[in-house]
Structure 1
Amino acid sequence: MKHILCSTMKNYKKEYLPKDIFSGIIMAAVSIPISMGYAQIAGLPAVYGLYGSVFPILFFALFSTSRQFIFGVDAAPAAIVGAALVSLGIESGSEAAMQYVPVIAFLTGIWLLLFYFLKAGRIVDFISTPVMGGFISGIALTIILMQIPKILGGKAGSGELPELLRHIAETCKEISWLSVVLGVGALLLLRMAGKVIPKFPAAIVIMAAGVAATMCFRVDEHGVVLLDAVEKGLPKLVHFHFAGIDLRQALGRSLMIAAVIMSETLLSENNFAMKNGYKIDENQEILACAMGNITAACVGCCPVNGSISRTSMNEQYEGKTQAVSVVAAITMAAVLLCATGFIGYLPVPILTAIVISALMNVVELHLAVRLFKVSRNEFYIFVAACVSVLFLGTIYGVVIGLLLSFVAVVLRATNPPRSFRGMIPGKEAYYDLKRNRNAYPIRHTIIYRFSENLFFANVKIFQSDIENSIKEDTKVVIVDAAAINSIDVTAADRLEMMAENFDKKGIRFYITEHSENVNEQMRSLGIGHLIEEGKVRRTILAALQDAGVATPGTSMESEKSPVIQMPWQLEIPAAVHAVHEAMIPAEEENTLEEFAWAFGDDAVEEMEKKVHQVMEQIHRLPDLERLADVGFEEKLKNWHSLGALDEDEILRRMEMHLDELPENLRGDKKVILQLIEKRRRKIEQQLLMHHPEILDHLKKNRERLERRLEKQNPEAARKLHEWERQMREK
C-alpha cells in the first residue's frame, strides 16, 4: 500500500513546513468548538468530537490525494445520526446512544469501502459546475443557519430550512444580547481582517480574547454560553455491541450517511482542487473516507466527513499538504493530554462567528453572479441545486443535482448551436451569416453547420432548419458535420429520407467535414449507400466542386472543355449599400468584420492594438527601401490574417499612426506610405479579379471609415490630410 500512502507529502519542500504547521494549529483550534457541537448533535458527549479530531483525520491524511482538504466531525452526518436517534427514541448522551452511534460509523465505513471497490467516484464526472457550486453553497448556507442560534445564545439547529428557521425564531424569544454583541462583533472583525490582513491569524487572537473576556468579566454570568469542560486523556478503543440494534435499519441509515459523505466530500474536494490547480483521485478519496470512518468508530465517535469550513480556513492560511491534518491531529492530542482546562472558558458565540466567517467564503455568490450574466439556464440550475439542499437535505440535493446535470445535457443537445454559412469576400473560410454582416451565401447553395451529435431528440430541429431554408432556386444543400461525432438509428433514417426528398426536388445533398467514425456508423446503420452515391464528401470545398458550384481558384470540368476556370458567385443584394446607408448613420457604420465578430463592442480598441502590432514590426525592419522591392508585406506576421475590408481599415489606421514612428524611421515615412498604398492597390486587384461585385462596396466603406476616423481622432486625421496634400503638391 506504500504507493497510495501520504501522496500529498511526496517530494515535500521545506518551505511548506512553516505554513503547514501554522495552519494545522489553527485547524485544531477551530475544530474544538465545531467538533464538540456536532458530536452533541449526533447524540454523544461533547468530548467525543475531540476524539474524532485525532486518529480519524490522521488516517484520512494517510490515504487522501487532496492537498488541502480537512476531515473531521461535521454537520451532515451528525444531523442524520441525531435524527435517527430521535426516530428510535434513544436519548442523546445515553448508554444506548454511545452504543448505537459507533456502530453506525463502522457500517458507514464498510459502505464506503464497497463504494471504493465499485469505483463509485465517477459520480463527480456527471455533475456540472453550476450544480457543484449550488450544492456546496447550499451546504454552507445550511450550516450557517444551524450556527446562528448559537450566536443568539441558544443551541445549534438541525434539519432543513423550515426547521432551521423555526428554531431561529424560537431562539429569538430568549435572546442573549451580550452573546449577539460578542458573536456579531467577532464576525465583523474576522471579515475586516480577512480583507485587510488576510494572512493574520485573527481567529486565534479572537479566541484568546474570548478566553480573556470570560476570565476577567465572567461573561458566562450574563447569559453567554461557554463550551463544556473536557476531561484530560486520549480516546480509548471501544468494543462494538450489535446486540439490540436493528441491523436492517442501521444498514439503511448508514448507507444514506455513506452516500452523503462520498458526495459532499468529492464535490467539495474537486471544487477546491479546481480553484487551486491540482488533481485528486476520486476513488482513493472514497477509501480515505472509509478509513477515517472506521477509525472514528473504533474510538466511539460518530461518522466523520470532509469539512468545507475548515478547508476554507486552511486555504486562507495557505496550508500546502496533508501535513496540516497531521499537525492538527497532534495538536488536538496535545490539548487532550495537557490543556483541556481552557476549553471551558471559550465563549460559544465567538467560536461560532469563526465557523460562520469560514463558511461565508464557501458560498459561491461570485459564481451565481457570473452565471446570471452569461447563462440564465445554468444560473437557474445553480439556484435549484442550492435550494434543493436547503429544503430537502444533502442526500436529496445530490440526487436532484445529478438530475439537473442530465437535464442541462439534454437541453444543450436538443437545442445546439447551429448556423447557416457563407463567405466573406477576400477570405476562403465559411462564416455564420447572422454574425458576419459582410458574409454572403454562395448562390443557389445552403451550407448548414450543426454543432452537436445527431440523435432522436434533435434530428427534427436539424431537418426543420434545413427544409425551412430551401428557396425556389436552391440547387445544393451542404451539411457541415464537423461537430457531429455520432448518429443514432433515428437520425440515420431521417438523413436517408431527407436525401430521397432532395433527389426528387433536384437538389444536391451532401454531408461533409465529419470524422471517419461517422462514416462507419452510417454503414452499420444501413445508410452506407449515401457514401456510395457521392452524398458524403470529406470537405465543403469537395462538395461545392462536385455540385458544380464555383469557388476561388478551383477548376471545373464541362462538356465543352475538360478544365475551365469558373468565377465565384455570392448572393450579394444589389441594393445592399443603399440599405446599409439608410439604416445606419455613416459615422457609426462598423466596417470591422473579423474584429466585430470576435470582440463585439471592443472591436475598435482591438483594431488599434493590431495596428500597433504592425507598427512595432515596422520598427524592427531594416532597410525599408530594399524591402519594398523584395516584398514588404511578406515580413509582417500580422499582415495576412485579415479579410479585405478589415485589412483596408488597418492600412488607413496605420497611416494615422505614422507620427508614432521612432526618430530613426521618421525619414522613411514617405516609403511606408508608398508601401501601404502598394498593399491597398493589391487588395483592389484581388477583389477585381475574384469579387468585382464587392469593389464598389469597399470604396463606399472607405468613405464612411474616413468620416468615422475624423470623428474619433480629428488631430491625427488633420495631420494625415495635410501630409497627403503636401505629397500631391510635390
Structure 2
Amino acid sequence: MARSDWIPGLRVAATYKSGYLPRDLVAGIVLTTLLVPQGMAYAELAGLPAITGLYTSILCLVAYAVFGPSKVLVLGPDSSLGPMIAAVVIPLVASGGDPEKAVALASVLALLVGLFMTIAAVAKLGFVADLLSHPTQLGYMHGLALTILIGQLPKLFGFSVDADGLFAEAGGFVKGVADGETVPAALAIGVGGLIVIGVLRRWLPKVPGILVAVVLAIIAVAVFDLEDKGVDLVGPLPQGFPPFTVPTVSWSELGLLAAGALGITLVSVTDTISTASAFAGRTGQEVRGNQEMAGIGAANLAAGLFQGFPVSTSGSRTAVAFQAGARTQVTGLVGAAAITLMLVLVPGLLRDLPQPMLAAVVITASMSLTDFPGLRRLWKQRRVEFSLAVAAFLGVALLGVLPGIAVAVGLSVLNVFRRTWWPYRTTLGRAEGINGFHDVREHPAAELMPGLVLFRFDAPLIFANARSFREEIRHIANADPAPKWIVVAAEPITDVDTTAADMLEELDAELDAEGVALVFAEMKHPVRAKLDRYKLTGKIEEEHFFPTVEDAVAAYQRRHGQAWSHPPRVV
C-alpha cells in the first residue's frame, strides 16, 4: 500500500492548487468562530476545564488533516461524546473534583480510543459501525439529548446540582429552582443566548449565531457588571500552545477507562461513517471506512498527548465548513492555527464569557441530536423498530449514558437475531396474469395444485430457526388431505448449518414414513455444496432437488397428473 493511502495529507500537499487557498482560508476563519465556543462548552459538558476543549480542537484538526481521507470532514469535541466522557471520568475523580486528575483520565481515554480506532482500521473492522441500527441510534441520541438538556439546565439558571443520573439531576434542578437558587442575571444571559442562536439559525442561517451570542454575552458582562451579580465566568485561560504530556493512571482505572473507550469508539465510528457518507457525494469522494478510522484514531492519539479528550466528527461544523467554501483539510489547519494564535497572543479574549452562555451552546447542540420526524416515520412505517428506538431511549434515560450504548448495541443485535429466528414464511401459488409463483397472502385468489405445497422460508436455516422450520413443515404435512409433495422454494435460504442439517435429515425420514416427499428447488450452489459436505444429499434423494420451482412443479405434474385449481387453502 502506498504511503499516501495511509497518509492522505501527503497527497493533498502534493496536489494542492493555489486557487483553493482563498476559500480554505475564509472557511477556516468562519469555522474558528464555531470551534472556540463549542470546544469550550463541550469540554465542560465532559466535566473538564474549558481550555481542554481548545487544546483538543487544535491537535485533532492537525492530525486529521494528515491522516484523514475526507476533504471536508471536521473533527473536534462533540456533544454526543461529552456525556460519555463525563460518565467515565467523573466517577473516577475524587470527591470535590480534581481538574488535573480529570484531564489525565480524559487524556488516557482519548489515547485508548485512538488505539482502538487504529487497531480497527488495520484489521479492516469498518463494519462495526453497523452494530448500531438506525432505529436504536435514533433512540439513543434522543436519550442523550434529554440527558444533556437536564444536565445543563442548572448552569443555565446560574447554580449547580450535586447529583448523578437523569432523575436525580432533574430532581435537584427542580429543588434548586424551588429553593430560590436561580440567578436572574445568569438565566437572562442563558435564555437570551438560546433566543439569539435559535432566531439566527432559523431566519439568517448564514450568520454565525453562536459567535453573535457569545460576543453579545461578553459585552453584556462588561456593560452590566454581571460578575458582581452572581454570573459565573470562564475566567482567564492559560497562555500558549498546549504542552506535550504523557498522562498516567492506575491499573484499576485503566480497566474502567478501556470499557468506556470501547463505547466511545463505537459511537464515534458510527457518527463519522454516517457523516462521511452524507458529504461524500457532494465532494465527489467515496467513503473509506477503514481510513476514516485511521484518521479518527490519529486525531484521538494526538489529542490525548496534549491534554485533550476523545473527539469525533461533527456534522454541524462540517456543514459550516462546506457552506463556507472549504476545499481541503487546509481549512482545519487554518482553524487550528487561529485557535493557537488566540491562546498565544490574546488568551484573555474569552475571560468574560459567561458560563450560562456555554450552557446555551450545549443545549442548542443537544437539540441537533434529535430527529422527531424520523421517530414519527418509524411509528408509521414499522412499529417494531419504533419500539426498539423507545427501548434505546429508555436505556439511556434509566440506566445512564454508557449502559445506554450497551443497550442500543444489544437491541440492534437482537433485532437481527429476531429476524432470523422468526423469519417470514409463506406458501406460493400461481397468480393469474403473472409469471412464476407468488405469495398467496398477497394474491389470495392464486391457484394451487392438489397434493402440492410450495413453501418459502425467507432466512438462512440455522440452529436458531431449525425448530420453527420443522414445526411449520409438520403443520403443512398434517393437513387434511395431506400433501404428497412439499416443495421448499430454497432461493432465500442462504445458509444451512449442521444443526439445521441434522433436523432436515430427521424431518425427511419422518415425512417419508408418512408418504410425503420433502423436495427442494432453486437451492443456491454454495448451500447445496454444504449439504454435500454434510452427507445430507446422499440421504435425501437426488431426484428431490430441482434447479427451479417450475421444474419441481412440472415433475410433480408428470408423476401425479394434477392440474392447477382452487382447492381449500393449505395454511
Query: Per the shorter chain, which TM-score range?
Result: 0.7 to 0.9
Which residue does 1:86 correspond to in 2?
Answer: 93
Deviation for aligned residue 1:434: 1.7
**Greater gyration radius:** 1
Gaps (5+ residues) in structure 1? Answer: 550-555, 559-565, 574-730
Separation in 2, partners of 1:356, 1:42: 14
Letter in 1 for 2:266: S
Separation in 2, partners of 1:473, 1:108: 61
**Superposed, which structure 2 residues align to 1:18-417 within 5 Å?**
21=25, 24-37=28-41, 39=43, 45-66=49-70, 67-72=72-77, 75-76=82-83, 78-80=85-87, 82-87=89-94, 91-93=97-99, 102=107, 106=111, 109-110=114-115, 113-114=118-119, 116-117=121-122, 121-155=126-160, 159-172=164-177, 173=179, 174-238=181-245, 240=246, 246=250, 248-277=251-280, 280-299=287-306, 301-306=307-312, 308=314, 311=317, 314=320, 317=323, 322-417=329-424
Deviations along 1:29-82, one digit per CA (max 9) or x if unpaired, are: 344344335555767654333222212331133222354242237624641464
**For 2:434, what is the secondary structure of its paired residue?**
coil
Give yes or no for the alignment of 1:446 onto 2:453.
yes
Cα gap change, 1:327/1:535 in structure 2, threshold over 3 Å: closer, same or farther?
Answer: same
**For 1:485, what is the secondary structure of its paired residue?**
coil
TM-score normalised by length of structure 1: 0.67
Gaps (5+ residues) in structure 2? Answer: none
Which residue does 2:507 correspond to in 1?
Answer: 498
Separation in 1, partners of 2:75, 2:442: 49
Deviation for aligned residue 1:120: 5.2
Deviations along 1:178-215, one digit per CA (max 9) or x if unpaired, are: 33333234323433433333333222222222233233
Q: Which moved more, 1:319-328 or 1:104-113?
A: 104-113
Separation in 2, partners of 1:481, 1:364: 40
Letter in 1 for 2:263: V
**For 1:479, what is the secondary structure of its paired residue?**
strand
Which residue does 1:467 correspond to in 2?
Answer: 474
Cα gap change, 1:257/1:448 in structure 2, threshold over 3 Å: closer, same or farther?
Answer: closer
Identity of aligned pairs, percent?
26
**Superposed, which structure 2 residues align to 1:679-718 within 5 Å?**
none
Separation in 2, partners of 1:152, 1:309: 28
Separation in 2, partners of 1:463, 1:429: 26
Letter in 1 for 2:469: F
Letter in 1 for 2:254: L
Letter in 2 for 1:536: F
* Mapped contact 2:113–2:300 kept (Cα < 8 A): yes
The structure, 1 or 2, with the larger RCO (C-alpha pairs under 8 Å, 6+ apart) is 2
Separation in 2, partners of 1:492, 1:255: 41
Deviation for aligned residue 1:316: 8.5
**Superposed, which structure 2 residues align to 1:620-699 within 5 Å?**
none
Separation in 1, partners of 2:336, 2:296: 16
Deviation for aligned residue 1:266: 0.7
**For 1:53, what is the secondary structure of its paired residue?**
helix
Cα gap change, 1:370/1:30 in structure 2, threshold over 3 Å: closer, same or farther?
Answer: same
Q: Pick from 526, 546, 551 the counterpart of residue 542 of structure 1.
A: 551
Deviations along 1:246-287, one digit per CA (max 9) or x if unpaired, are: 3x1242243134323312211211232344456544444444
* Mapped contact 1:226–1:346 kept (Cα < 8 A): yes
Q: Which moved more, 1:134-143 or 1:449-458?
A: 134-143
Deviation for aligned residue 1:228: 1.5
* Mapped contact 2:218–2:354 kept (Cα < 8 A): yes
Separation in 1, partners of 2:439, 2:469: 16
Separation in 2, partners of 1:27, 1:506: 75
Deviation for aligned residue 1:500: 3.0
Cα gap change, 1:29/1:149 in structure 2, threshold over 3 Å: closer, same or farther?
Answer: farther
Deviation for aligned residue 1:118: 5.2
Cα gap change, 1:119/1:423 in structure 2, threshold over 3 Å: closer, same or farther?
Answer: closer
Cα gap change, 1:306/1:101 in structure 2, threshold over 3 Å: closer, same or farther?
Answer: closer
* Mapped contact 1:422–1:440 kept (Cα < 8 A): yes
Which residue does 1:522 correspond to in 2?
Answer: 531
* Matched length: 552
Cα gap change, 1:540/1:101 in structure 2, threshold over 3 Å: closer, same or farther?
Answer: closer
Q: Which moved more, 1:221-230 or 1:319-328?
A: 319-328
Separation in 1, partners of 2:537, 2:445: 38
TM-score normalised by length of structure 2: 0.84
Deviation for aligned residue 1:453: 0.9
Deviation for aligned residue 1:24: 3.8
Cα gap change, 1:432/1:340 in structure 2, threshold over 3 Å: closer, same or farther?
Answer: same
Q: Which moved more, 1:279-288 or 1:56-65?
A: 279-288
Cα gap change, 1:496/1:253 in structure 2, threshold over 3 Å: closer, same or farther?
Answer: closer
Deviations along 1:502-558, one digit per CA (max 9) or x if unpaired, are: 3334334311012112211112222212564411111111111211x2xxxxxx599
Cα gap change, 1:19/1:367 in structure 2, threshold over 3 Å: closer, same or farther?
Answer: farther
**For 2:402, what is the secondary structure of its paired residue?**
helix
* Mapped contact 1:448–1:479 kept (Cα < 8 A): yes
Which residue does 1:431 correspond to in 2?
Answer: 438
Letter in 1 for 2:356: P
Separation in 2, partners of 1:289, 1:426: 56
**For 1:345, what is the secondary structure of its paired residue?**
coil
Give yes or no for the alignment of 1:420 onto 2:427.
yes
Which residue does 1:570 correspond to in 2?
Answer: 565
Taking only aligned residues, the RMSD between alpha carbons, in angstroms, comes to 3.5
Separation in 2, partners of 1:386, 1:436: 39
**For 1:529, what is the secondary structure of its paired residue?**
coil
Which residue does 1:2 correspond to in 2?
Answer: 4
Cα gap change, 1:423/1:161 in structure 2, threshold over 3 Å: closer, same or farther?
Answer: same
Letter in 1 for 2:4: K
* Mapped contact 1:512–1:539 kept (Cα < 8 A): yes
Deviation for aligned residue 1:107: 5.8
Cα gap change, 1:281/1:148 in structure 2, threshold over 3 Å: closer, same or farther?
Answer: farther
Deviation for aligned residue 1:130: 1.8
Separation in 2, partners of 1:343, 1:384: 41
* Mapped contact 2:277–2:287 kept (Cα < 8 A): no
Letter in 1 for 2:52: Y
Separation in 1, partners of 2:341, 2:265: 30
Separation in 2, partners of 1:101, 1:360: 25
Separation in 2, partners of 1:394, 1:190: 27
